[in-house]
A and B are shown apart, each in its own frame.
Chain A
């Protein structure tokens, strides 16, 4: 039978605050174990939490960017369970009255737009981290540095219907979070974590099937892979007449498989109840409006503007607006006088590839917008050809030198002297009499070969238009 997957995602985002959600400890990553703790975040007897207002600000900012309703009245609840990484044996979270409700996020898959609903986004504290001794002593230690770091859990509606949509959702979400600078979204450091809920239903059926929740997904690609695996696993079960059980499963990135962690029956009863140590969170419109005023232009809006203002294709605008620094870079180039589509081509092909190959970011890139413009001017003036420009570009990327200087020093100035080009062509024609005969005999592609030979002989410096023109005349 053909099945349709129904996918919902839960994304935990670490909010980029200086201090923890309920105390003044640092949130910096990578510190010595238990060096960023205090009586409050390790839950010593008698301590009380005090809410970090900046974390609320970032939550509101995220909520507004995802078109959520900002709850005028929300509250905190305790989620009770025992585990050594949870020092109070409860996590302070938000249960029935979260700070953000009913949002949406637009995604693009295969050139088509789709809106994914956001059920809610709520604030909660992170747990510590267990470190197990690997030498066989069986000892375990707990590092509470991470305990109490603010997280925003963003829960989507089960609106996605393919692994690609899930991937696109995560990309779009990450773009927004980076745009509004609420999180560094670093998956390796755990500042962005994702769980996927997936079920199958026969195509055309309305009712949802039984879902599995997949945890331990440490990259967007793995989310996509795990969903593919689950689709296959569940489809085989359904085809065999078996029932899918509701359970939590762990994804193993090495084998690419999921395995059962606990069933619904084994699930904890978290005994949520209102956190009596905190007062309800009341957000009036003045507060949320003040946050709204700080919102930057969001990815979708920026993309639309790029298409309209710079007459770029959707694709170009989409790529250029994935990150604010890249979009800013592009706009800077245009401001310097470059033609938008020409810059876009260079950025999308040469620049992004170079950055990617060298694991560099646009912020650290040695080629500044002004330099790209200078280089494009050299092409326009005919000083260098597009082909030579690539060599110049490579040199600029490595040394950060100005394009004019590079052209000078390396003798890359284009040969635009008719006499000089004429001489080279004469030489090539006498060296390639066979090709000349072929061309004259009707083999049109011999022309391309001869152009190539001329360019080679000039070490790429001959002006291609001129070569074409002169060669054409000589072979008439």
Chain B
């Protein structure tokens, strides 16, 4: 059942919130020992929320857009009184004393905060393998990775444990795992959703967004998450449209841009074929297809790994063992305290990125790397601006390959970084992007179709995605667990 239908049923009282919660908990018990999507899920906490919601009057239920719907939370979004670790040893024992803005909004909307999902440490990775807590499996093939960094969030929805979850996307961390797990993952425009309470990886790129089985559910959740926040000055004042109304319009009159730079060598032929089929389907539904060029795409990965690591090196500097999280017991003096704590607390990928980021900001290298990356970022934005003069949205594959095997790329950071090659540009340009299931490979692995929109063009993406799903049933496929 979709979150949309579930909410209706719960509001009407046909189904008790507690009953629904128990059904999800039993699915969790059945499958999560195999999938390992969650790093924490306390049955009592879930049922306590459910009971409280069941006590609300019919009138109170009506106004709650997510009444009784469980939403899983990525381990980098702060929930008051709950441990939040970013899947890192260094934040072990850190309990957030406040709610992220999105958490307050979920509570207000009557959602059940349903456990914390696994992720790459500090959201740095594309396979959830850098988590210090556990490895999450792809529900479609337990030997494969679910994508990352929001691998747990994607897998929790794909394995039917929750109808909705929220993740964060810095370079593709929502869209890539959504593609690899066969669910919908939406990264909003930078500034559409408040970042307050999201533990920062790269502040100018991070955005929180929804995971769902279908686009309509994603629209429902985004509707709750989006909007201005006085606690986040980078969050936009732009009015939030009614996403659920927007999705019902047909696609005639819309033009899709197909960037030649995204259909490159190295892309898996099956992925390419599925995406092209989907494009043909959109054309059939009345979308005009046009070629566009995004000439600076080739610099996306290198630009991203300068900007993102530079910001990360600064954002992660606060984990010094002085105030919270772990503190090395062996340290003899202050410098040693920093050194030991960070050596013991961070994993290899995080250390690699902190060093890279520190390097690109260092005196003598700043101009050649960081400053240049900022300039390229501007050029990439211009590429999109130019393309959007001709087209309403852009269609690309989400990931160049389907889910790969666990361990396959872990020792080769560069090849791992390339799995975000199609998603990174939207972050650098601050644009909304969504991944929608568009079929399965012969090995029964999901393929994702990415739609990239204009700034604050969420409505168009949701409309196109929903209409596509009305005409197809890729999103109705489920893994056998």
The distance from the CB of B48 to the nearest CB of chain A, in whole angstroms, is 24
Given the known interface contacts A46-B100, A48-B233, A90-B317, the answer about A82 and B199 at a Cβ–Cβ threshold of 8 Å is no
Given the known interface contacts A78-B314, A273-B361, A273-B370, the answer about A50 and B320 at a Cβ–Cβ threshold of 8 Å is no
**Chain-B contact segment, one of A11-19, A36-44, A370-378, A448-456:** A36-44
Given the known interface contacts A44-B97, A46-B197, the answer about A82 and B233 at a Cβ–Cβ threshold of 8 Å is no
The secondary-structure label for the interface of chain A is: loop
Query: A220-262: contact bitstring with B at CB < 8 Å (1 yes, 0 no)?
Result: 0000000000000000000000000000000000000000000
B358 touches A46 (CB 8 A): no
Contact of A48 among B76, B195, B311, B366 (CB under 8 A): B195
A49 touches B198 (CB 8 A): no
B320 touches A46 (CB 8 A): no
B84 touches A276 (CB 8 A): no
Given the known interface contacts A46-B199, A273-B310, A273-B361, the answer about A88 and B318 at a Cβ–Cβ threshold of 8 Å is yes
How many residue-residue contacts, CB under 8 A, span A and B?
96
Chain A residues near B323: list those with CB within 8 A: 42-43, 87
Query: B320-347: contact bitstring with A at CB < 8 Å (1 yes, 0 no)?
Result: 1011100000000010001000000000
Judge if B200 is at the interface, Cβ distance under 8 Å.
yes
Judge if A435 is at the interface, Cβ distance under 8 Å.
no
Interface residues of A in 32-67 (CB under 8 A from B): 39, 42-51
The distance from the CB of A3 to the nearest CB of chain B, in whole angstroms, is 31
Given the known interface contacts A88-B317, A271-B361, the answer about A276 and B203 at a Cβ–Cβ threshold of 8 Å is yes
B204 touches A87 (CB 8 A): no
Interface centre among A44, A48, A88 (most CB of B within 10 A): A48
B233 touches A278 (CB 8 A): yes
Judge if B362 is at the interface, Cβ distance under 8 Å.
yes
B203 touches A277 (CB 8 A): yes
The distance from the CB of B245 to the nearest CB of chain A, in whole angstroms, is 30
Chain B residues near A88: list those with CB within 8 A: 317-318
Interface residues of B in 189-213 (CB under 8 A from A): 195-200, 202-204
B362 touches A271 (CB 8 A): yes
How far apart sit A51 and B230, CA to CA, in the bound complex (Å)? 10
Query: B338-364: contact bitstring with A at CB < 8 Å (1 yes, 0 no)?
Result: 100000000000000000001001110
Judge if B96 is at the interface, Cβ distance under 8 Å.
yes
The distance from the CB of A137 to the nearest CB of chain B, in whole angstroms, is 15
Chain B minimum-CB-distance residue to A42: B323
Judge if A110 is at the interface, Cβ distance under 8 Å.
no
Judge if A142 is at the interface, Cβ distance under 8 Å.
yes
Chain A residues near B473: list those with CB within 8 A: none
Chain B minimum-CB-distance residue to A50: B233
Judge if B86 is at the interface, Cβ distance under 8 Å.
yes
How far apart sit A82 and B362, CA to CA, in the bound complex (Å)? 15
B234 touches A271 (CB 8 A): no
Interface residues of A in 251-301 (CB under 8 A from B): 269, 271-273, 276-279
Given the known interface contacts A269-B363, A277-B203, A279-B233, the answer about A45 and B91 at a Cβ–Cβ threshold of 8 Å is yes
B198 touches A44 (CB 8 A): no
Question: Interface size (A, Cβ < 8 Å)?
Answer: 28
Judge if A84 is at the interface, Cβ distance under 8 Å.
yes
Given the known interface contacts A82-B338, A279-B234, the answer about A45 and B318 at a Cβ–Cβ threshold of 8 Å is yes
Judge if B372 is at the interface, Cβ distance under 8 Å.
no
A142 touches B231 (CB 8 A): no
B358 touches A271 (CB 8 A): yes
Chain A residues near B417: list those with CB within 8 A: none
Judge if B299 is at the interface, Cβ distance under 8 Å.
no
B311 touches A276 (CB 8 A): yes
A142 touches B196 (CB 8 A): no
A89 touches B233 (CB 8 A): no
How far apart sit A344 and B432, CA to CA, in the bound complex (Å)? 71
B94 touches A89 (CB 8 A): no
Interface centre among A45, A78, A269 (most CB of B within 10 A): A45
How far apart sit A80 and B370, CA to CA, in the bound complex (Å)? 15
Interface centre among B84, B322, B366 (most CB of A within 10 A): B322
Chain B residues near A142: list those with CB within 8 A: 322
Chain A residues near B200: list those with CB within 8 A: 45-46, 277
Chain B residues near A44: list those with CB within 8 A: 96-98, 324
Chain A residues near B96: list those with CB within 8 A: 44-46
How far apart sit A273 and B359, CA to CA, in the bound complex (Å)? 13
Given the known interface contacts A89-B320, A276-B311, the answer about A49 and B233 at a Cβ–Cβ threshold of 8 Å is yes
Contact of B234 among A82, A273, A276 (CB under 8 A): A276
Chain B minimum-CB-distance residue to A140: B334
Given the known interface contacts A88-B317, A142-B322, the answer about A51 and B199 at a Cβ–Cβ threshold of 8 Å is no
The distance from the CB of A278 to the nearest CB of chain B, in whole angstroms, is 6
How far apart sit A42 and B97, CA to CA, in the bound complex (Å)? 12
The distance from the CB of A143 to the nearest CB of chain B, in whole angstroms, is 13
The distance from the CB of B174 to the nearest CB of chain A, in whole angstroms, is 18
Given the known interface contacts A42-B323, A46-B196, A269-B363, the answer about A80 and B317 at a Cβ–Cβ threshold of 8 Å is yes
Contact of B334 among A43, A84, A272 (CB under 8 A): A84
How far apart sit A89 and B334, CA to CA, in the bound complex (Å)? 14
Chain A residues near B91: list those with CB within 8 A: 45
How far apart sit A184 and B230, CA to CA, in the bound complex (Å)? 30
Judge if B232 is at the interface, Cβ distance under 8 Å.
yes
Query: B58-74: contact bitstring with A at CB < 8 Å (1 yes, 0 no)?
Result: 00000000000000000
The distance from the CB of A226 to the nearest CB of chain B, in whole angstroms, is 28
How far apart sit A39 and B197, CA to CA, in the bound complex (Å)? 10
A45 touches B362 (CB 8 A): no
Interface centre among A39, A43, A87, A271 (most CB of B within 10 A): A271
How far apart sit A279 and B232, CA to CA, in the bound complex (Å)? 10
B361 touches A45 (CB 8 A): no
Judge if B225 is at the interface, Cβ distance under 8 Å.
no
Q: What are 9 contact pairs spanning A and B, CB under 8 A? A: A43-B318, A45-B318, A80-B361, A87-B318, A89-B320, A90-B317, A271-B313, A276-B202, A279-B233
Known pairs A87-B318, A276-B234, A276-B311; list 17 more (Cβ under 8 Å): A39-B97, A45-B199, A46-B76, A46-B96, A47-B98, A48-B233, A51-B233, A78-B314, A80-B317, A87-B323, A88-B318, A271-B363, A272-B361, A273-B370, A276-B203, A276-B204, A277-B233
Binding site for A on B (CB under 8 A): 76-78, 84, 86, 91, 94, 96-98, 100, 195-200, 202-204, 230-234, 310-311, 313-314, 317-318, 320, 322-324, 334, 338, 358, 361-363, 366, 370
Smallest CB-CB A-B distances: 8 pairs = A89-B317, A276-B203, A271-B361, A276-B204, A45-B199, A46-B197, A46-B78, A46-B199
